[in-house]
Amino acid sequence: MAKVCVFCGGTPLTKEHVLPRWLKVAMDPTVRTVRYVRLSRDGVQHHDAPPLNEQVKVVCSDCNSGWMNQLEEDVRQFLPDLIRGLPCSLDLVRQRSLASWALKTILMFQYTHRSEVRAAIPSGDFSAFHENRRPTRSMLGRLGFVNYPPDDSVPLVDTLCQGYGTAELGGVAWIGTLRIGCMLVQIIRAPDVSAEYRLTSYETLPSLRPMWEPEMPIEWPLPAAIPNELMTALAHPEGLAVNLIPL
């Protein structure tokens, strides 16, 4: 584990719930345990544990109780509806808030992995997020709709894909995917994009929408669910197919 804050380098370190405890309102109160599922190139790992129980000790008290807490508050009003698949509207402001919260949560989830898996996300991505409080111009964010599990167990899936940085692409690249109930959020980190270009979304599916940068309001739930058989291909594409458009 980290000895100083992974965002600002400060101390003392405090425990951070990877998913906020207030998300209990989005979950069936009769469910005592949930499945935590991790997909990686090594296969699938899972364990059962009380909901919202995972914690990491890698952030300082100032970050934890300050800007990170504000990111939680920014999505608190609508995140439970996304998870349960209940009707709600996401304007551009809400989509930006969701993208920032998704990136924070994916970064925190990495510290529940082994060290070699965590290494796929460089320290510079943590410091850039600390500085800007939002994804960078070299990132895409996507929101997807999946069917709520029939057994109501609310599976939690966090996925980190490695190996997308190549000499041709010119740097680091990774994909992080988090699924909670009906909601799938994904951050795609492409090699650094110069100021003359912007990234655009790719591989559109009927229930996959860009949320960073947002393009138009989103009415939830989306019209069709992403089939379960496409989940692995979505989280583990064979390559990083990103599109650049001149400004």
d(CA 233, CA 189): 17
pLDDT band at 167; cut points 50, 70, 90: very low
- 3 state SS of 176: strand
203/3: higher pLDDT = 3
Range with lowest mean pLDDT among 66-75, 165-174, 185-194, 203-212: 165-174
Q: At what angle do helices 67-75 and 92-109 cross, to 10 degrees?
A: 130
- Token reading at 33: 């345990």
Of the listed ranges 72-76, 96-100, 221-225, the least confidently predicted one is 221-225
Question: Taking a C-beta distance cutoff of 8 angstroms, is the pair 6, 20 a contact?
Answer: no
**Residue 192, helix vs strand vs coil:** coil
pLDDT of residue 189 exceeding 70, the answer is yes
Which residues, 6+ apart, have CB-to-CB distance to 21 below 8 Å? Answer: 52
Burial class (CB in 10 A: 0-12, 13-18, 19+), 155: middle
Q: Say if residues 176 and 186 touch (Cβ distance below 8 Å).
A: yes
Residue 199 banded pLDDT, cuts 50, 70, 90: confident
CA 142/CA 120 separation, integer angstroms:
20
CA distances from 107 to 20, 162, 193 (A): 14, 14, 20
Identify which of 40-44, 99-103, 122-126 has the greatest average pLDDT. Answer: 99-103
Task: Name residue 88's beta-bridge partners.
Answer: 220
- The first and second tokens of residue 50, run together, are 């009380």
Residues 114-143 have a mean pLDDT of 89
Q: Order across the sheet with 156-161: list the strands.
A: 43-49, 34-40, 156-161, 174-180, 183-189, 139-145, 208-212
Does residue 225 carry a pLDDT above 50? Answer: yes
Of the candidates 141, 219, 148, which has an alpha carbon nearest to the alpha carbon of residue 182? 148
| Band (113; pLDDT cuts 50, 70, 90) | confident
Does residue 162 or residue 145 have the better pLDDT? 145
| Model confidence at 247: pLDDT above 80 | no
C-alpha gyration radius of the chain: 17
How far is the C-alpha of 44 from the C-alpha of 209, rounded, in Å?
A: 26
In this prediction, residue 100 carries a pLDDT of 98
Q: What mean pLDDT is predicted for residues 164-192?
A: 80
Residue, of 41 and 55, whose pLDDT is higher? 55
pLDDT for 25 equals: 81
Say yes or no to pLDDT of 168 above 60.
no
